[in-house]
Chains A and B, each alone.
Chain A
Amino acid sequence: MNEGSKKTIKTLCFAVVGMFTFSFALVPLYNVFCEITGLNGKIELSATNDKNIEFDNGRDISIQFVSHNNEEMPWAFRPSEDNIQIKTGKYHTATFYVKNTTNRRMVAQAIPSVAPSNAAAHLKKLECFCFEQQELAPGEEALLPVRLIFDNELPSSINSVVLSYTIFDVTDYNDVEFTQHHNDDHHADHEMEPSI
């Protein structure tokens, strides 16, 4: 085999390995892309660093809270209030009622989503039950808090925002990596918040 062939083979093997790596790189790329553009209604699953972003001159908007149970998740899960009127630039606390209706200990994870998706970038959370997994004993119930703020840059075309949570049963694999990671980061923040 001549030198040219060897070189071509080497280049092609690098290309194959490179593309395989690229397919995995697509995962973080996709998440970063969604986060920057606010597409997909994705919001960061961690508390905002800036605790003093309160502004004056906020305007009135309404938030609708929606709760979903993922397939076969038996817990009762609903917002305490379906609809609240708030001002942008001001913190608000809302709560969700949750109850483990089964007779076994279960772990749940709530995943948020915002519609319209271009509101997602303007929603900051100081505290949210979605930052960590919820473990409830049989029959145990709880009120889960979310403390949030919409900044004043929220596009003026948006007067109403839907904040939706889907609750998933994660009992079977309850040390999902990313939650652990968030616990480490934000444990201190949660300690300081009043518990409900």
Chain B
Amino acid sequence: MSAVIESHNHDDHHHGPAKGLTRWLYTTNHKDIGTLYLWFSFAMFLIGGAMAMVIRAELFQPGMQIVEPEFYNQMLTLHGLIMVFGAVMPAFVGLANWLVPMMVGAPDMALPRMNNLSFWILPFAFFVLLSSLFMEGGAPNFGWTFYAPLSTTYAPPSVTFFIFSVHIMGASSIMGSINVIVTIMNMRAPGMTLMKMPLFVWSWLITAYLLIAVMPVLAGAVTMMLMDIHFGTSFFNAAGGGDPVLFQHIFWFFGHPEVYIMILPAFGIASHIIETFSRKQLFGYASMVWAMASIAILSFVVWAHHMFTVGLPLAAELFFMWATMLIAVPTGVKVFNWVTTMFKGSITYETPMLFAIAFVVLFTIGGFSGLMLAITPADFQYHDTYFVVAHFHYVLVPGSIFSIMAAVYYWIPKWTGNMYDERLGKLHFWLSFIGVNVTFFPQHWIGLAGMPRRIPDYALQFADWNMISSVGAFLFGASQILFLFIVVKTVMGGKKATPEVWEGSRGLEWTVESPAPYHTFTTPPKVN
């Protein structure tokens, strides 16, 4: 993308950040709020990761070693909820806050005060959720999918706090999405048509629409649970004429678009990074946009592939199988576009590029195991086994999480003005890459061999691979401490970054100096 800046406002310091803690409490600056979101999601990533360590430690050997089964279930549930709603989603919102206004040449987000609110209610949501660990009866223990009646009739009393926290998270996401959409639709610099927008902006526009469509459905589902538990309704209670399977339909009507909410921004990030380090223009820009739009639309008609074994009629099983497989087409278009962009490019392998390439390769593996799960008759064998666990961790950890790490390495020179330590960055990449594969690849095999998911103990024949998987998990977990160290080191200092940072970088955010001034594009740039 080529851009002409009509006037720089670098020397314009009359609105610098306030000092002290109130800067962060009262801030309406999109960069500050982006930073808050990113640090918050990092904290949640470490908390959710610690819970994963408890899970892998218990599974290190067969038999019960470290925790009680009840506590294991609580760890499992909170790990899922925290990673989905606390780590991945806020990290992407943080990136959107930092990058979307700069990428479209806007001075800030459209609704800065609401932006502040949508961040600051999040810590409360997770405080409420985590506090349930210390309540009588313990934290939610019914899995992150909270199927009724397990999460209603048989739930611990803390389920009400869980419902409240999900409501807050949903409100935060909805406000964040409204902000992103209004910014993108109304505040683009003159000359930036929709089809000239950077792909990260496109990916977030589509993601925000998905969030607007499904977060209210999630809110509806937990509201129905609340009414079943406290107000004597019977939405999901068969004795009163309700239906537990209905819960699964409503949940996955939210849940499947949610899966794409967690991966579409990653597609945008990968496109930018691969383009930059291949020193070539991205191959197939328009097809990338159409692929993301088709994935988003298809995500609304595939939800029942999570429910193949509940007793769907044959016609429904076939429909949801084919619709699911259809998603492989636009996804394949994206993967081929990334590969073609790299083809004959002058590639260099800086840390962001390493993470981006690993993202493409490992996300594709996760996509393939997803295709296997989409085959209805085979799914009866795979359902609720570790094969499913391996599948969704492959798309979420080296998929979403790697893309977030790639984004942090790619844009952190722009955020802080300092280059990160390339040697440590590469070390972090290789430790994470090895860790993630050692952890999750064997889970495919033990899953196919029949090990069920969500159990604290298992049959002896799964012992070896579980031990290897746990070793990989400890390696992956420990290497994130290194990540924390690298980020802190970069914030503290380092080699000064140039405005364009990378040799092949394209886009408006690279036209402002590094670190990006507190206010950018107060006068809109002109885009050719």
Contacts and interface: CB of A to CB of B under 8 A. Distances in A.
Contact of B240 (A8, A9, A20, A173): A173
Contact of B186 (A8, A24, A178): A8
Contacts of A18: 216
Given A117-B313, A178-B241, A27 B212 contact: no
B257 to A, nearest CB: 11
A40 B313 CA distance: 9
Interface stretch (B17-25, B231-239, B405-413, B481-489): B231-239
A169 to B, nearest CB: 7
B216 A20 contact: yes
B353 interface: no
Contacts of A173: 232, 240
Nearest to B235: A27
Nearest to A17: B216
Nearest to B218: A23
A19 B212 contact: yes
A24 B222 CA distance: 11
B234 A23 contact: no
Contact of A12 (B187, B212, B214, B239): B212
Interface in A1-58: 1-2, 4-5, 8-9, 12-13, 15-20, 22-24, 26-27, 30-31, 34, 37, 39-40, 42, 45
Given A16-B174, A23-B219, A170-B240, A40 B181 contact: no
Contact of B243 (A37, A40, A169): A40
A23 B241 contact: no
Contacts of A22: 216-217, 220
Interface in B202-229: 212-217, 219-221, 224
B253 interface: yes
Nearest to A42: B243
Nearest to B154: A71
Given A23-B217, A23-B221, A12 B240 contact: no
Given A4-B185, A173-B232, A37 B239 contact: no
B232 A176 contact: yes
A12 B178 contact: yes
A122 B494 CA distance: 77
Interface residues on B, range: 35 or more
B280 interface: no
B216 A19 contact: yes
B239 A169 contact: yes
Interface string A95-110: 0000000000000010
Contacts of B178: 9, 12-13, 16
B182 A8 contact: yes
B249 interface: yes
B224 A24 contact: yes
Given A5-B182, A37-B313, A26 B249 contact: yes
A40 B251 CA distance: 18
Contacts of A9: 111, 178, 182
Interface string B235-267: 100111101011001100100000000000000
B168 interface: no
Contacts of A70: 238-239
B473 interface: no
A183 interface: no
B110 interface: yes
Nearest to B219: A20
Contact of A30 (B232, B246, B311, B313): B246
B232 A8 contact: no
Given A169-B239, A176-B232, A23 B186 contact: no
Contacts of B213: 15, 19
Q: Which of A4, A16, A27, A178 has the most CB of B within 10 A?
A: A16
18 contacts: A1-B110, A5-B185, A9-B178, A13-B178, A15-B212, A16-B178, A17-B216, A19-B216, A19-B217, A27-B235, A30-B243, A40-B245, A40-B311, A70-B238, A111-B241, A168-B238, A169-B239, A179-B241
Given A8-B182, A19-B216, A111-B241, 6 more contacts: A12-B182, A26-B217, A34-B243, A70-B239, A176-B239, A177-B240
Interface of A: 1-2, 4-5, 8-9, 12-13, 15-20, 22-24, 26-27, 30-31, 34, 37, 39-40, 42, 45, 70, 109, 111, 117, 166, 168-170, 173, 176-179
- Closest CB pairs A-B (n = 6): A23-B220, A168-B239, A19-B216, A20-B216, A23-B217, A5-B186
